[in-house]
Amino acid sequence: MVKPSVLITGAGIGIGAACAGSFARAGYRTVLTDVLQEEGEQRAAMLRAEGLDAEFHLLDVTDSSAVREIVLATEGDGFDVVVANAGIVRRRAFAALTDDDWSQTVDVDLAGEMRIFREAVPAMSRRGSGSLIAMSSVSGAAYGWAEHAHYSAAKAGVIGLARALAVELGPQGIRANVVAPGFIRTAQSLDETHSMGDAALRDAVSAVPLGRIGEPSDVADVVLFLASDAARYVTGQVIVVDGGLLVRQG
């Protein structure tokens, strides 16, 4: 029996690493990619030590040629699932935001997702099935985030991308959905320079109805659900994983 396969970008740490673990333990051939070579190789090695099928490839999602090369080298007759998770966040006040700041964030957080999907779709189309899962944020789905206009814009763009792909690719048997995490304990969110930092993250618990900050595994399990046959009639949707943050009043 042929194993289902998944490619995950930004899989060396955080949510991407958790996704790699969830898919590998669910029996997928799991292809991890990241610009963080040491972390990605370590994560893949940890999964292989569990007897799981995992491999790592160094990949910068801003490099179209590299994206094409990695997908062609690893997809076989087509990936069952692609999880576009690679992203960056950089704090910049809007008045100080440069063209380079804007372009770099959009290039990774939005265009990077487009590139990985673009290369994976042809083989999915030939086989007549596939699941594309884009990673957005509550900052793209509902919230504005001060000093992060470029990040919020890119993450909102991810939602538009996935919705358009759901319509265009649905007749070919390909689903496209979005996961929008809230406050999740990752290296990115703990970065005081460019994100929230530990103290602010702990303070944010009071705004979360479930009473805790999310863990990467909380997001990974939802991603795995969207990839599964249990979500076979779900496409073009944004699934918010935030412990109830967006529906709280007062």
Residues carrying an active site annotation: 151
Cβ–Cβ < 8 Å for 79, 9: no
Distance (Å, rounded) from C-alpha 197 to C-alpha 121?
37
The closest of 12, 19, 5 to 135, measured between CA atoms, is: 19
Task: Tell how far CA 248 is from the center of its chain.
Answer: 25
Query: Position 121: which residue type?
Result: V
Q: In what order do the strands lie in the sheet with 130-135?
A: 54-58, 29-34, 5-8, 81-84, 130-135, 174-181, 238-241
Residue 218, number of CB atoms within 10 A of its CB: 20
Distance (Å, rounded) from C-alpha 147 to C-alpha 97?
9
**Both structure tokens of 207:** 């705004």
Could you tell me the CA-to-CA distances from 91 to 88, 116, 152, 168, 193 in Å, in that order? 10, 25, 11, 34, 7
Distance (Å, rounded) from C-alpha 195 to C-alpha 41?
26
Torsion of CA 148, 96, 105, 107, to 10 degrees: 140
